[in-house]
Each structure stands twice: as C-alpha cells, then as structure tokens.
Amino acid sequence: MNPFITDDERTQLLANGQARATAQDFDPLPVVKLFTPDAHATWLLAALDPADGDTAWGLCDLGIGMPELGTIRLSELAAIVGPLNRPVLRDQHFQPTRTLSGYTRLAQLNGSILD
C-alpha cells in the first residue's frame, strides 16, 4: 500500500489500466496528482497495470522542462525524496479538468505541468 494513493484512487487506476490494455484510443482523465514539494517534480497518473499493481502510467514531469507520457513504479515513487528530504505527496485538492492528452499537450508547450 502506498501512502499517497487512496483505496478509491487505486481502484480507479486499476480499472483504467484494464481499459488501457484493451483500447487503443484510451485517453482518460488523470486520477491522481503526485508531486515533490521541494524538487519541482509532478506526476499525473491515469492508470495502474493490473498485472503487477505497481506500474503506473501517466504524465511525468521531472522539473527539467521535458514532460512526457510514461510509466513509473509506485514503489519507486515511495522511495523518492527531494533535496530537503521531503517525500512525494498527493495533491489532495486536484480535480482534473481535461484528459491526459490535453494535459500532455499543454505541458509540452509550456515545459511543465501547469495545474
């Protein structure tokens, strides 16, 4: 269990992971926004691989101006800390306003995830 994803979010991420495996044009709303409060990294996660329950897919922004769609393991996120030793946190107020492709287009234009 990861401290930054609720049970409901995990359920939705797994359902999206199943849908992603079967639909080529899958473009969901992100389910959860994670960030490092002291390192400018952000992840908008939309799906979780049901086969391993650990590999998440979404928009990854490491704070270096090159956000991109990709995968990351939740177990790796749980081990990340920023320069001030602050862990990855869940944005409890995040409400998606566009699909993942919409966030990706804007992030690539601006060099970072804006909201």
Please tell me the distance from the alpha carbon of residue 12 to that of residue 40, in angstroms, as a whole number. Answer: 26
| pLDDT at res. 103 | 96
| pLDDT at res. 2 | 64
Identify residue 105 by its one-letter amino acid code: R
Structure tokens at 90: 């869940």
| pLDDT at res. 23 | 85
Q: What is the pTM of this model?
A: 0.92
Walk along the chain (115 residues) in steps of 10 and give the mean pLDDT of each run.
83 96 91 93 96 96 92 93 90 95 95 86
